[in-house]
Amino acid sequence: MSPKSLNVKKDAESESATDLRPGDFPIGSPQSRAAARLRLQGIGGMGKGSPECICFPEDEQPFFCYPVQERVAARLKCPLHGDRFKVPRFYLYVAKWYREKEPLRIRKKSPQYQKAWSAGFPPDLWPATLAISSSLI
Ligand SMILES: [Zn+2]
């Protein structure tokens, strides 16, 4: 049994009334087959890339310069799909010169990647600045 089969009820509840389903059309009709294809491709209201989806694209998994970035990004869940990227991930040290180029690299990514990144790291709040509290010293 696949894990997806346990989410049938959840998936059905989260569908919007405007999503087209194969069952909305006569069996075997071209419209029914087209609706089934769209569902399989994830196109439509519930698919990755839908307006509400803030997942990273399957073929563009996020790259984090710091482990804390991953923890922040992982805490934010997609309202449609839950986890927004694949875990577990391993961390490698990222050199300063590479970190400085990261905003430029993100701007070259797909619109869905940029939307997913901005959801976790709003441009007006990121990059964070280092703050040292006197109570911790
Ligand atoms: Zn999503």
Q: Give residue limits of the domains in the chain.
A: 19-51, 67-120
Length of the chain, please? 137
Contact 72, 121 (CB under 8 A): yes
Distance 84 CA to ligand 1 centre (A): 6
Structure tokens at 54: 């803030």
Q: Around ion ligand 1, which residues have CB less than 5 A away? A: 53, 55, 78, 80-81
pLDDT score recorded for residue 102: 92
What's the CA-to-centroid distance between 137 and ligand 1, angstroms?
41
Q: What is the pLDDT of residue 95?
A: 95
Stated pTM of the model: 0.61
Structural tokens at position 52: 């509400």
pLDDT tier for residue 20 given thresholds of 50, 70 and 90: low
Q: Give 21 Cα–ligand 1 centroid separation in angstroms.
A: 19
The mean-pLDDT minimum among 31-35, 66-70, 102-106 falls in: 31-35
